Structure 1
């Protein structure tokens, strides 16, 4: 049932958000010359997929979890995109394709061994990763692997249609801080 909501909402968001996508893409070309960011992430059943976002960091930034990146890597436009969570909009394409859900555990990198182990223990990889979820609205990020995995497992166990829409609404209205970077 939630997959149906994912399809309808992501398709609607992609269509209605098209003007915003165009503006951010143009601004991104002036900011970094490469407005779209693609990165391999861990998906459902630990299968690899390519996550798509608007670029918020300089092109030469190392491919590490956000909390390990330096604040000096974030561009001026990138800072605005991160604060408003507009950098996440292209993930609607990942949702539409079935690689992600609107609500689920944030997809991590394959080099985050501690987080992978914690999530494995709790069965977190049995579901599609999400754009937002319980951890995100409570400002819990990947810098605390055990807490994040516990929160993800709790969300998966207790997820209802009402909570699904609640997490989305809380994210859209600005609750949570997104992924922090070193020095923030």
Structure 2
């Protein structure tokens, strides 16, 4: 049974990414009609448009009320604000739009004008036509495994379980981190030696760069990296503050003049991060997690951004495999919070598999 769990997680991950690839090519998708208040419709359609791994292609919208949505999808039908006395007042326009657009799924965003009774009657009509009805509760970035639906006194309720923080899964992550780091240090010993020699010969200064970073719960620790910048890089950073290309708490310059010749190659291949395996071995970091911020960056975090520090920072993470420095600050935070809230062993396995591709392509590495 011991190898069964990681094998099952690997198969699940491979199947998931195969399906995601098909959806990005426009296959394995559902033609979808969205019903709800204009602002709610705009929010949902915009969110779906920014992602490509899901199955829904919005081909029309049905606003409730007279306000017009701003989404690019055409208005295929319109419902009144009040619950009509006859079912056909709701079902007829929705059914006509679904048939005309070839819709097989209807997404409904509940609101003050879409009561439970109204939704139930609409479901009768859609299901009679073989059309799928999906109610969108408004929660975002919550994985399906944390949700379960139950009924109390005829009322449907949605239960959201807390994120995994302790128990067997958390213990397995800690053990896997340390064993994996120890194994990689042994296997990559020749690479460590070659990189150290290259750094030493390229420019004056120490081989390793030690930097204070903020870890889990706001605890500071010393993070190790192969030096990729000139020895007085920290002093020069203050002089380059006006050239920061990031729009949030991070400091990044695409053509940073402080980076050495060897350092540019090391960053391109992510070899400068290898000494952080010792941080993982010590328990300061994990193999997978959000990147650890600098103390001055963490000091400016708001209460939402501070949630990044609820888990150990990682050697790699969703940020690194999704574009790295090419991402905006808001995109970085959204990815990190999604990881913090929905972590599981299978998520870590998926990130590690995607890390190989990110290292090979070097996308966003500078």
- Under a length normalisation based on structure 1, what TM-score does the superposition of the two structures give? 0.86
- CA deviation digits over 1:114-154, x for unaligned, max 9? 7632421xx22111001111111111449733332221110
Structure richer in helix, relative to its length: 1
Q: Is contact 2:226–2:272 with CA below 8 Å preserved after alignment?
A: yes
Distance in 2 (CA, whole Å) between partners of 1:55 and 1:150 is 30
Q: What's 1:128 paired with? A: 312
Q: Is contact 2:268–2:365 with CA below 8 Å preserved after alignment?
A: no
Distance in 1 (CA, whole Å) between partners of 2:327 and 2:220 is 21
Rate the CA distance shift 1:66–1:19 in 2: closer, same or farther, 3 A: farther
Q: Is contact 2:214–2:298 with CA below 8 Å preserved after alignment?
A: no
Q: What's 1:12 paired with? A: 183
Give the counterpart of 2:192 among 21, 46, 53: 21
Q: Is contact 1:104–1:132 with CA below 8 Å preserved after alignment?
A: yes
Structure 1 residue 55: deviation in Å?
Answer: 0.8
Q: Is contact 1:43–1:125 with CA below 8 Å preserved after alignment?
A: yes
Give the counterpart of 1:57 among 210, 220, 229: 229
Q: Secondary structure at the match of 1:92?
A: helix
Q: Is contact 2:305–2:333 with CA below 8 Å preserved after alignment?
A: yes
Give the unaligned 5+ runs of structure 1: none
Q: What's 1:76 paired with? A: 261
Q: What's 1:105 paired with? A: 290
Give the counterpart of 1:31 among 168, 177, 202: 202
Q: Secondary structure at the match of 2:210?
A: strand
Higher RCO (C-alpha 8 Å, min separation 6): 1
Q: Secondary structure at the match of 1:134?
A: coil
1:47 correspondence with 2:219: yes
Give the unaligned 5+ runs of structure 2: 1-171, 238-249
Q: How many residues align?
A: 178
Larger Rg: 2
Distance in 2 (CA, whole Å) between partners of 1:130 and 1:142 is 19
1:90 correspondence with 2:261: no
Q: Secondary structure at the match of 1:41?
A: strand
Rate the CA distance shift 1:115–1:83 in 2: closer, same or farther, 3 A: farther
Structure 1 residue 28: deviation in Å?
Answer: 1.0
- CA deviation digits over 1:61-112, x for unaligned, max 9? 1265550585221111111110111111000000010000010000010111
Rate the CA distance shift 1:140–1:28 in 2: closer, same or farther, 3 A: closer
Q: Is contact 1:105–1:129 with CA below 8 Å preserved after alignment?
A: yes
Q: Secondary structure at the match of 1:67?
A: coil
Q: Is contact 1:115–1:146 with CA below 8 Å preserved after alignment?
A: no
- Under a length normalisation based on structure 2, what TM-score does the superposition of the two structures give? 0.45
